[in-house]
Chain A
Amino acid sequence: MKPLARRTFLRGGLGAALALPWLEAMRPSTARAQPAAPARFVLAFGGLSTHTRSPAGLVLPPPGAASFCDTLGLRPIHRLGLTADAALVSGLLIPWASPEFAGLPARRVNDFHGSMMQPLLAGVSSTNTDGFSISGRTADSVMAQRLSPGVAPLAYRVQYDFYKGSISNASISFDGPGQRRVPRFSPSRAYQDFTSALSASEDERRRRALEVARGRSVLDAVKDGAGRLERRLGAADRQRIDAYFTSLRQFEQRLAQPLSGTCGPLAGFPTDDAALATVVEGIDVRTGARCAHPDADGESGDENDLCRRVGYSFETERGNLFVDLLALAFQCDLHRSASLMLTYPQSFLSASQIFGVDEPDNRWRTNALRAKDTHELGHSPGDAAMMAYLYAWHVGFVARLAQQLKGMTEAGVPLLDRTAIVLVTEGGFGRDPTGGSATPHSTENMVAVVLGGKALGLRLGQHLVAPQREHPGQVLLAAMRAAASDRSLNLGELRAHFTPLL
C-alpha cells in the first residue's frame, strides 16, 4: 500500500475514520503482520498533596459507600460514569532518608517540595530537592521505549509557568539523568506537532524502515550466536538458553509488531487553523487578558491584583485541549506513551481562578482566597475541602482523557481498555521528617488514581488501601507492567509492583 498523505486526510476533514494508521502505513508492505492492538501508557502528575486524613467523602470514600468515586475529589470520574474503569489506591508512602526506612528503594531526602519527583516518577532515590532535574528515566520514557521503540513519549505541561521565580523547561519526562524532555506547554505548538507528524516526510518513512531492518539484522546475528552456543551446551544450560530464545522471540515479535490503530475525529476539536487560533491563542495571556503573568518578584504593588503573588493562564482550558490532543495522538498511533504534567510541584497556580472566586454564590468566595495560590491552601488543615476540590480539578483532566479513549476503538476494543493512565501527586498527609506529624508536607498516605487498562489485566472498579504502605511508584510499575505485558520490567530501584492492582 502506498504511504498515505495525512495532511490530505486532515484537510479533507476528520469526519471519516482512517483505515490504516500513520506508522503502519509507513512500514514496508512485507513487514506488515496481523495487527495486534498495542497498549498505551499515560503518566499524569499533579503538584499538590491530598488530605487523605480529612473527613471521608472529600477524597477517600466513607465506609460502605456505594461508589468509591463519589467523593468530592473523585467526582469527575463518578460523573463521567468511569467508576468501573478506575481504581483508587491510598495509603501509599515514599520513604525518606531515615534509619526507619533504611534499605528501602526510591527514597527521598527530607525537605519536602521537589524531593519526591525523582523517586516517584523514576523510582530512583533522590539526593536533593530539585524536582526539576530528575536523575533517572521516568516511567513515560521507559514505556515509550517499550511500546514504540524509536518514538519519543508525548510530553505536555498544562501549567504555563511556575509563577514564582524563574524556573523554565519544567518537565516530568526524562530519558536519563538530566536528560530532560521539554514538554509542550503551548496548545497551538502541540497542535502543529500533531499535524506535521501526520504529514511526515518520505525521509522519515525511510528512516524508520531502515531502523527496523537494522534492528532485525542485529537480532538475526544474535540468534545465530545463540544457536551456536546451544549446540555446545549440556541439558541444564540448554534450559537457560531456551528461556533466552523465548525472550528473543518476544523481542522479535515486538520489532515486528505493526503500529496500528485508527485515526478519527474528536468531537468539537477545532480542526481549522483559524478556529484553532481563536481558541488556542486566545488563552495565551502572558500579555494581558484576564489575569496577567505575575511580576517575577511577586511585588507588583497592587493589592487587588489577583496575580500579585499567584498566576493563571487559563490552565483549565489549556488542560482540556491537551487532553483532547493526547487522545487524538493515541488514536492515530503517533505515540504510545505520554506524560501529562498538570501542575508544578509546589504549584503557585491561582486558587481564585481554580475555584472561580468571583462567581456569585461561590462557597469559597472569600477575600482571603483572592491572593492565595494552590500551594498555600494545603498548609491549613481547615482547607481540606478546598484541597479535595483542587484534586478534583486535576482528576477532571484524566477523567476527560479516559472518556475520550473510551469512545475510540481499535481492533474492536475501546482504546481505554488498552491504555493505562496513572495520576500521581506530590504529597499525601502525615509526618514530615523536618517537623510535624499531621501535615501535607508529607509523603505518607499518598494516593494514586488509575484509569483504563481493563484489557491489560488491571483490576479496576475498587478502592485499594496499600497493605504494606507500598510506594506510589509501585502503582506506576503495575500499570507499566500491564501495558508492557512484562512482569520483569522495573522502574529505577523499584523491582516490585503493587500486586492488588495486577
Chain B
Amino acid sequence: MRRLSRRELLRAITRLTGVEVETELPGFDVRTLAEGAPKTFFFDTGFAWQATSLDSLVTADELARAVAARVTSSPQRLERVLGCAPSAGREAACLGAFLDRAGRLSLRRPLEPEERERLLSTALAWARPQAGAPPGEVAGPFPAAHFLVRVLLQHPEFLSLVEDGAPSPHDPTVLVLSDTAVATRLALLLWGELPDDALLDAAVSGTLHTPAQVRHHAERMLSDPRARTQVFAFHAQWLGFSRLDEVVTADLARSMRAETRALIDDVVFDRDAPWVELLTSQRTWLDTRLAGIYGLPAPATGPGWVTYPSPDRGGLLSHGSVLATSGPGSATSRGLFVRERLLCQPLHTPADVSVDVDAVNDPALGECRSERLRAHVDNPGCASCHQLIDPIGFGLLRYNGQGAVQSTEADKPNCPLPREGSVTLGSGTTPFAGPGPLGRLLAGAPEVTDCLARQFFRFRAGKAETSDVDERHVQAFVQALRQSGGRLRPALLDTVSSPAFLTRRIAAKETP
C-alpha cells in the first residue's frame, strides 16, 4: 500500500474538485505527503520509504481545508463542483449525488450504504446554522460540501493505493487483485491519475479481471494524451530532467522540455518506433531559443523538427534537458549519470570509501580541471571507480549545461576541454566523441535495454527489485521489448495485460 505521489495527488484533487492546487493554492508544500525515497531511487512512486507521520496528516488536513474553502468560495463554483444546484429542499439530493460520484472516484469503489448514510447525515448536520460560524458563512450546502470535500481528501483510501483482493486458488502466496484495485493500478501506471468512469464502471461491474479485459482498456488509455504525459514523466524522473526548473530559467526549461517531449512522443507513440531511437535520433524539435544555443539553424516557421548537420549530436543525450541536469562541467558527474541511470550500475560514493575527495581540487595539480582530474587516475583509491566514469564524461564535456558546444573551460581559454572519451560496456571499451556517438553505442548495448526494464519496474512497483519474483518481472519486460522489436508501447500493453499484472505477491508475514 503506497501513498499517492505528489503528482498523482494534485491531479486527483483537480479531477475531484476542479481546484488547481499549484496555481490556486501556491503556498502549499504537499511534498511531504509522498516522498522519502533515497537518491538512488529516481521515482516519486517509491513506497518502501514512506512512513505515515503526524506531519503528513497535518499537511493533508491543511490541504483539504484549503481546497474545501476554494470549492465553497462562491455559489457558482460550488454548483460546478457538486454538479447540481443545492437549492433549498434539494440539498440532500444534490449532496447525495455528489457524494456518490466523488466518493466512487476518490475511493475507487462505491460507498457502502451505511458509510454513505453516515457521511451524508454529518454533512447535513453541518448545513444547519451554527453558533460561531465565521462571518459570511452561509448555512446550508456550503459547510456541508466543505465537510464532504475535507473528509474525502483526507481519507486513507484516497491518499493511498490500496491493493486488496483474494488469495489465488492455485497459489496461497499470490493475491488476485480485486477489479477496483486493477483499475487503480492501471490508471496510476498509464496515466498517473485516478481511473476514469469507463474504467471504474468496468471494475464495479466485474469486467476488469482478465488479461483481455485489461488489454481492451489499456489500448484505449494508451491512445489518450495522458499516457504521453505519463511516459514523459517516467523518462523525466529516470533521467533526472524532472528537476530542470532548478537549474535553468523557466523559459529555457520550457523549450528544453518541449524538445524532449516531442522526441519521446514521436518515437514511442507517433511512429511506435524502437525505444533505442531515443538515443540515436538524428533529428530534434527546436524553437528559436534552443536552436540559437545549440548553434543550429532554427526552423523557418516556429518550433519544428531539425536534422542535426553532424553525427556528433544525436538522441536524448544531446538534449539541453539531459545535459543541464546530468552534471554539466564535471566529467565525473556526467559519467556517473550514464553509469547509474542508463546502465543501472550504481557505484560507491566517496562517502563509502576512504579517499580524499578534495584531492582533485588541489591547485598544485594544475590550473585546468582536466589536469587535476589526473588525481582520479593516479590515486588508487579513486581510480577503481573513476576509471569507469570519468572517461565517459570526457567525451561529453564539450557540451555545457545548456547544450551549447564549448572548446575550453568557462573563463579559462587556456584550458581546452577534451573532445574524446570512452565507454566500457560488456562488449569492451570503445572511444567516442560527443553525445551522438555515445548514444549509438549505448543503443546497441543490452545493458541499456535491461536498465530500461529495471527502471520501469521500479517506477511501476514503487520499489527496487529485491527478490527473484521482482527479477522475473524485469526479465518479462525485457522479453516483451524483444518481442515487440524494441518498441515501448506494445511492451507496455503486453505487460499490463499479463496475468502477473493482475496479482501481487503476499508478503511472508501477510495473511489476507
Contact = CB atoms under 8 A, between A and B. Distances in A.
B132 A208 contact: yes
A274 interface: no
Interface string B100-134: 00000001000010010011001000100011111
B441 to A, nearest CB: 26
A248 B57 contact: yes
B507 interface: yes
A196 B73 CA distance: 29
B58 A214 contact: no
Nearest to B178: A232
A366 interface: no
A332 B511 CA distance: 53
The residue in B58, B61, B328 that gathers the most chain A C-beta atoms within 10 A of its C-beta is B58
Nearest to A493: B31
A41 to B, nearest CB: 15
Interface stretch (A223-231, A297-305, A351-359): A223-231
A251 B54 CA distance: 6
B155 A218 contact: no
Interface in B63-87: 64
Contacts of A222: 151, 154-156
Contact of A145 (B58, B147, B330, B507): B58
B32 interface: yes
B164 interface: yes
B51 interface: yes
B132 A221 contact: no
Interface stretch (B21-29, B311-319, B378-386): B21-29
B52 interface: yes
A83 interface: no
Given A99-B328, A210-B130, A486-B54, A218 B32 contact: no
Given A125-B246, A209-B132, A236-B509, A214 B54 contact: no
A224 B118 contact: yes
B341 interface: no
Interface residues of A, number: 52
A176 B133 CA distance: 25
Nearest to B112: A228
A490 interface: yes
Contacts of A243: 51-52
A489 interface: yes
Contacts of B440: none
Nearest to A233: B164
Nearest to B133: A210
Given A222-B156, A228-B112, A217 B58 contact: no
A175 B333 CA distance: 37
Contacts of B107: 225
Nearest to B157: A229
- The A contact surface, by secondary structure, is helix
Nearest to A254: B54
B27 A179 contact: yes
A483 to B, nearest CB: 13
A218 B123 CA distance: 10
Contacts of B143: 214
Nearest to B55: A488
Contacts of B509: 235-236
B155 A99 contact: no
B484 interface: no
The residue in B132, B175, B328 that gathers the most chain A C-beta atoms within 10 A of its C-beta is B132
Contacts of B56: 247, 488
B57 A218 contact: no
A207 B132 contact: yes
Interface in A184-233: 203, 205-211, 214-215, 217-218, 221-222, 224-226, 228-229, 232-233
A237 B28 contact: no
Contact of A224 (B53, B115, B130, B246): B115
A228 B62 contact: no
Nearest to B132: A206
A244 B60 CA distance: 13
A139 to B, nearest CB: 13
Interface string B300-344: 000000000000000000000000000111100100000000000
A112 B63 CA distance: 34
B500 interface: no
A236 B463 CA distance: 16
Contacts of B355: none
Nearest to A100: B361
A12 B119 CA distance: 49
Contacts of A137: 27, 29
B131 A235 contact: no
Nearest to A249: B54
Nearest to B504: A234
The residue in B107, B151, B156, B157 that gathers the most chain A C-beta atoms within 10 A of its C-beta is B156
Given A137-B27, A229-B162, A490 B131 contact: no
A243 B52 CA distance: 6
B121 to A, nearest CB: 11
Contacts of B29: 136-137, 490, 492
Interface string B144-174: 0001001100111100001010000000000
Given A125-B246, A209-B132, A217-B147, A237 B510 contact: yes
Contacts of A225: 107, 115, 151, 155-157
Given A229-B162, A244-B52, A247-B53, A146 B147 contact: no
Contacts of A248: 57
Given A99-B330, A236-B509, A247-B54, A217 B1 contact: no
A214 B149 CA distance: 13
Contacts of A488: 32, 51, 53-56
Contact of B122 (A217, A229, A240): A217
Contacts of A218: 61, 64, 147, 150-151, 154
B55 A489 contact: yes
A235 B510 contact: yes
B138 interface: no
B350 to A, nearest CB: 14
A214 B64 CA distance: 13
A177 interface: yes
A243 B1 CA distance: 12
B426 interface: no
Contact of B119 (A221, A229, A244): A221
Interface string A255-279: 0000000000000000000000000
A40 to B, nearest CB: 18
A369 interface: no
The residue in A225, A243, A248, A254 that gathers the most chain B C-beta atoms within 10 A of its C-beta is A225
B137 to A, nearest CB: 10
A248 B327 CA distance: 42
B89 interface: no
Interface in A49-106: 99, 102
Interface string B488-512: 0000000000000000001101111
State the 8 A-B residue pairs at the shortest beta-carbon distance, nearest first: A176-B27, A206-B132, A488-B53, A210-B132, A236-B510, A236-B507, A488-B55, A234-B510
30 contacts: A99-B330, A176-B25, A176-B26, A176-B28, A177-B26, A206-B131, A207-B133, A209-B132, A214-B147, A217-B122, A218-B151, A221-B122, A225-B107, A229-B162, A233-B1, A233-B162, A233-B164, A234-B510, A235-B509, A235-B510, A235-B511, A236-B510, A247-B53, A247-B56, A250-B57, A251-B54, A251-B58, A488-B32, A490-B29, A492-B29
Interface of B: 1, 25-29, 32, 51-58, 61-62, 64, 107, 112, 115, 118-119, 122, 126, 130-134, 143, 147, 150-151, 154-157, 162, 164, 175, 246-247, 327-330, 333, 506-507, 509-512
Given A207-B132, A207-B133, A225-B107, 5 more contacts: A214-B126, A222-B151, A235-B507, A251-B57, A488-B54
